Chains A and B, each alone.
Chain A
């Protein structure tokens, strides 16, 4: 009897393994980054867009966002290492319940995948401010779009020259 159970366990195990391998197999063949394991709510479509115009469209941003003096984008003029370009964004806003910066989008025009990050703030932040380090494949414009809770769009663009690309 114990022999039978073992055999059943073995068969069950074999079937499961085959199923997992089949799943992994299809996963590898799929050309896009987004797989079933994506974190819930992560906007895969916008992040998978390969050109800026598509990435803008997928985030609901028009191509002609006006530049605003309220958006402060700090990036180096020349980045020696494209694998880690320090970046800082500050947006002037009262950050009250009635008037705050809801989202800050960051794009690198010439990266293989232009959408870099999307920050969703709340009035409790007190300031719409963020710092991170990004990868840049080559010299490119870095583009910030801030969206207020009323849907107003504020932009800033800066050119960063990259000496050694960092998407390898």
Chain B
């Protein structure tokens, strides 16, 4: 289980022009179970899913997302950001069982 959960990844361009709108793409491994399905023995598989995604740039809040169990396993998330200054983009994912993962990516703005 520990093998197939977490490992967050961010993809952004390494550099951008000031004011340019860039795309941020991210991925994290997570089962995202709904709590509505059963295993082979007929036992309900408990809900285990990422509930919040917090995005910061240079530690200032940029965006936050609330998710339900209906986000597909190994959630992919892409969004836009206006590149205004050189710095670090951070994304933090938290699930309903205390799971907490974060990763960062740097961008140089000229």
* A residues at B contact (CB < 8 Å): 33, 35, 37-39, 41-43, 47, 83-85, 95, 108, 111-113, 115-122, 124-136, 166-168
Total A-B residue contacts, Cβ distance less than 8 Å? 116
CA distance A33 to B76 in the complex (A): 23
Assess A113 versus B69: contact at CB under 8 Å? Given A37-B96, A126-B80, A167-B37: yes
Q: What secondary structure prevails in chain B residues at the interface with A?
A: strand
B66–A125 contact, CB under 8 A? no
Beyond contacts A37-B96, A133-B72: 4 other A-B pairs, Cβ-Cβ < 8 A, are A112-B34, A112-B36, A117-B67, A125-B63
A94 to B: closest C-beta gap in Å: 12
Kindly state whether residue B77 has any CB partner on chain A within 8 Å: yes
Chain B residues closer than 8 Å to A126, beta-carbon distance = 21, 80-82
Number of interface residues of B (CB under 8 A): 37
A122–B96 contact, CB under 8 A? no
* B residues at A contact (CB < 8 Å): 21, 34-37, 47, 51-52, 57, 60-73, 75-82, 84, 94-98
A39–B65 contact, CB under 8 A? no
B84 to A: closest C-beta gap in Å: 7
A-B contact pairs, 26 of them (CB 8 A): A35-B96, A38-B96, A43-B66, A83-B72, A83-B73, A84-B72, A111-B70, A112-B36, A113-B68, A119-B63, A119-B79, A120-B66, A124-B62, A125-B79, A126-B81, A127-B21, A130-B79, A132-B75, A132-B76, A132-B77, A133-B76, A134-B72, A135-B69, A135-B70, A135-B72, A168-B37
